Every structure is written in C-alpha cells, then in structure tokens.
C-alpha cells in the first residue's frame, strides 16, 4: 500500500520542444510508469507580440497559424522523444495538451484542473518556456501542493542534442 505522502496524481511535464524538454518527458514517463500514474505532456502556446497568431518555422520561411504549427511541432517532438534508445514506451494513459496563454499561469491552471501533484521542470536556464524561475512562478500561482521534480540524468543536454537533433525554432 502506498504511503499517504507519496504522490498519486498525474505527472505534468510542460514542454517547449527543446532538448532539455525531451529529457523531462523521458524522466516523467519513467516516473509515471514506476508509480502507475497518468502522464500529461503540456505545451503552452505563447502568442508572441511581434508575430501574433503565428509560429515561425525559420525566420526566412513563411509563418504558419500558431495552433496548427504547435500541433505539428508537438507531434514531431514526441515522435523523436519516443524513438530515442533511452526512452521508455509512452505510458498508455499519456495525454497531450496544447493550450494558449501565458506559460506559468496556464501551467498552474492545468495543474489545478487535472489534480496534478508532480510537475517535472528543468532548473537550468533555457531559451524558451522553461526558465530557471518558471517552477517558482507555477508554484506561486497554484493553490494545491505540488512536488516539483528536476531530472537527474547524466549530461542530459549533450545526449538530447545528439539523439533528438533540432526539432524546431519557436
């Protein structure tokens, strides 16, 4: 029987399609399988002020509607993550969510709505969604207790870059 202090709810892993986000997904999937817990992979579509409504594939290429581009990027990102040699099979109860808004606010809202008690973040500063203080901003906005987990893997960025390769520029 599980200890009452042991998290039992879903594991939330926000992603920005970066190599460190790939590491976070793998780490969260391993946690989900070990604890027989659901996994939620979340991307917050943050509408940039310089190109409202669009994500760029590359600066010199045409823009695409932001929601369509985010779906395409998430599909490609997860295909590459699950194809990695060190990745577990995706948990059967994995859900993928794409929502629009301000990342910290929307991550906290999803954590509340879904009854999440564990959020997997990377503490290293990254370009994109997962900055050093993102976890703190989410915890500050969330009224329920959250366990924030930082993956402890050997040299995750070099491994991710070599296997994941470039996914997309956001």
Token pair 């779906």 is found at 71
What the block records as the tokens of 34 is 């070990």
Q: In the predicted model, is pLDDT for residue 1 greater than 80?
A: no
CATH superfamily of 17-162: HUPs (3.40.50.620)
Q: What average pLDDT score do residues 141-161 get? A: 61
Q: What is the pLDDT of residues 20-54, one digit of tens each?
A: 889 889 999 999 999 899 999 999 987 655 555 44
Provide the pairing of β-strand 63-65 with 54-56. Answer: antiparallel
Q: What is the pLDDT of residues 74-95, one digit of tens each?
A: 999 999 999 999 899 999 999 9
Mean per-residue pLDDT of the chain = 76
pLDDT > 70: what percent of the chain? Answer: 65
Which residues on adjacent β-strands are paired with residue 70? none
Q: In the predicted model, is pLDDT for residue 170 greater than 80?
A: no
Best CA proximity match to 169, nearest among 63, 57, 15 = 57
Spans of all domains in the chain: 17-162
Q: What is the pLDDT of residues 106-115, one digit of tens each?
A: 999 999 999 9
């Amino acid at each position: 029987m599980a200890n009452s202090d042991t998290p039992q709810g879903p594991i939330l892993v926000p992603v920005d399609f970066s190599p460190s986000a790939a590491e976070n997904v793998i780490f969260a999937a391993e946690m989900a399988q070990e604890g027989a817990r659901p996994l939620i992979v979340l991307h917050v579509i943050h509408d940039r002020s310089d190109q409202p409504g669009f994500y760029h594939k590359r600066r010199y290429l045409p823009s695409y509607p932001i929601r369509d581009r985010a779906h395409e990027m998430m599909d490609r990102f997860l295909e590459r993550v699950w194809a990695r040699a060190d990745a577990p099979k995706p948990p059967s109860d994995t859900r993928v969510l794409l929502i629009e808004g301000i990342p910290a606010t929307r991550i906290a809202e999803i954590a509340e709505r879904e009854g999440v008690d564990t959020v997997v973040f990377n503490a290293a500063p990254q370009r994109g969604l997962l900055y050093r203080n993102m976890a703190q901003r989410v915890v500050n906005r969330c009224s329920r207790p959250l366990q924030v987990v930082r993956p402890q893997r050997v040299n995750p960025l070099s491994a991710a870059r070599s296997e994941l390769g470039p996914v997309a520029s956001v």
